Structure 1
């Protein structure tokens, strides 16, 4: 009986420790071709429910520096996500548009589908499994 109780206790502790250890993975996003040091680079990780809305899963607000910007997001659970990034050169916290509707500032979206009109989640999505992941976006 003591042996059975010990086995059950060890099994319960193992399950609990594994559940606590599964706190997600690290997503590294490399943003290439930041053209200048003006303003900030705004980025956001979305799921399907938050895509193209004010809510986001994770965000970043970094001083723009010409060249490459590397962002790290930790504790991301497995699932489907999309990533958006904007070089907000004039620091007004939004994307600015020309009169014809084209963006004035550099931007990028995961999925690299640069179609006319706003992106869709299905075009921008990528899947995160149980391993750390790296994606690259280019302005």
Structure 2
């Protein structure tokens, strides 16, 4: 009987550790070509449903030697996209010219740059059971 209880307890601990590990996956995103160390880089994590509407997590990061890095933590398995921009004047928004062209550099996961705002299908990536590391270029 004690042996059976030990097996059950071990199985419960094993499976609960697996669940915890999957819930604690992180995404590390690094912009590698910021043009100056002035200001900050603003990163936003999205899923398909809320892409460019409301981020799941947002993080501001300092710039050191043209690089800026953030981590999004406790990410469940799924499909996501990241958009970021260089908030050079630190007004917490992306600035645009009167003709609609961006005045600040921006990028998205997968580094697909088309005319117009990033598209979810171009920027999406999958999070499974391992940490994800991405390099983004403006």
TM-score (norm 1): 0.84
1:84 aligned partner: 83
Structure 2, gaps ≥5 residues long? none
Equivalent position of 2:25 in the other structure: 25
CA distance 1:125–1:21, change in 2 (3 Å): closer
Q: What's the offset of the Cα at 1:5?
A: 4.4
Q: Distance in 1 between matches of 2:12 and 2:37?
A: 53
Comparing both structures, which one devotes a greater share of its residues to strand?
1
Shift in CA distance, 9/134, structure 1 to aligned 2, threshold 3 Å: closer
Q: Tell me the residue number matched to 2:13.
A: 13
CA gap 1:11/1:103 in 2 versus in 1, 3 angstroms: same
- In 2 relative to 1, CA 5–46 (structure 1 residues): closer, same or farther, beyond 3 Å? same
Q: Which secondary structure state, in structure 2, belongs to the residue aligned with residue 118 of structure 1?
A: coil
Structure 1 unaligned blocks of 5 or more: none
Distance in 1 (alpha carbons) for counterparts of 2:13 and 2:65: 50
Does the 8 Å contact 2:27/2:73 carry over to 1?
yes
> Number of matched residues?
138
- 1:74 to partner: Cα distance: 2.6
- d(CA) in 2 for partners of 1:12, 1:72: 30
Deviation at 1:69, TM superposition (A): 1.7
CA offset digits 1:115-134 (Å, max 9, x no partner): 12222211110112212221
Once residues 110 and 13 of structure 1 are traced to their aligned partners in structure 2, the CA distance between those partners, rounded to angstroms, is 36
For the pair 1:126 / 2:119, whether they are aligned, the reply is no
CA contact (8 A) 1:84 1:110 kept: yes
